[in-house]
Amino acid sequence: MAEELGVGHSRYQYFEDPNRYKKAALPIDLTRAVAEVLTRYGVDPAEVMVLAGLTDTEAEPEAREIESQRPTFLSISLPVILPSEVALRDMFRSLLVLVPEGASKDEAAEILARRLPAGLAAIGPLSLDQASVASLAGGAIPQSPATDRPESRP
């Protein structure tokens, strides 16, 4: 992280060491820089701005500014199989909290579009067992010679 921020390792370590850095919040300039770096890795800059002691309302304009600096195209990898309906519902619920009351549909759509990649990344990787993969691919379920026994024939 120190290299990404362009600061020395000892300076960066100073802010991570609670025995040395005793303040409750990071300096706003450092927090902005950290948010800019982490945004490249799919982290929501509004979440990072909390490190500066900002409220959600105060963090939103900061996050917008950081995100406006990002390239027009955002590259993310999506699994072919979407997360469960429950996981998607929870993700959308957490994203909708970011839409201020009284926001127009266009404003809401802009906020949600900006946050969707971070929301999907927060769900985490999917893990499928062999039976699920085989059934989705339309193939036979692979058997393990160590644990699976062939069906007995009458």
Same domain, yes or no: 49 and 89: no
- How many independent structural domains does the chain possess? 2
**How far apart are the C-alpha atoms of 2 and 29, rounded to whole Å?**
14
**How far apart are the C-alpha atoms of 102 and 122, rounded to whole Å?**
27
Same domain, yes or no: 90 and 113: yes
Same domain, yes or no: 66 and 88: no
CA distances from 68 to 45, 53, 103 (A): 11, 22, 19
**How far apart are the C-alpha atoms of 65 and 69, rounded to whole Å?**
7
Same domain, yes or no: 90 and 56: no
Q: What is the pLDDT of residue 88?
A: 86
Q: What is the pLDDT of residue 42?
A: 82
Residues of the chain with pLDDT below 50 are 141-142, 144-149, 152-154
Could you give the maximum distance between any two Cα atoms of the chain, in Å?
75
Q: What is the pLDDT of residue 40?
A: 83
Same domain, yes or no: 49 and 26: yes
Q: What is the pLDDT of residue 81?
A: 72
Vertex 64: Cα angle to 61 and 66 (nearest 5): 110
Q: What is the pLDDT of residue 145?
A: 46
Same domain, yes or no: 59 and 106: no
Q: What is the pLDDT of residue 123?
A: 78
Same domain, yes or no: 42 and 102: no
**How far apart are the C-alpha atoms of 97 and 92, rounded to whole Å?**
9
Q: What is the pLDDT of residue 70?
A: 75
Q: What is the pLDDT of residue 147?
A: 45
Q: What is the pLDDT of residue 39?
A: 87
SS3 content of the chain, % helix, strand, coil (to 5): 55, 0, 45
> 118: which 2 tokens?
């971070």
Q: What is the pLDDT of residue 120?
A: 80
Same domain, yes or no: 92 and 59: no
Residue 132 in any domain: the answer is no
pTM comes to 0.47
**How far apart are the C-alpha atoms of 56 and 49, rounded to whole Å?**
9
Residue 87 in any domain: the answer is yes
Residue 138 in any domain: the answer is no
Same domain, yes or no: 86 and 66: no
15 contacts: CB under 8 Å, gap ≥ 6: 21, 26, 30
Residue 112 in any domain: the answer is yes
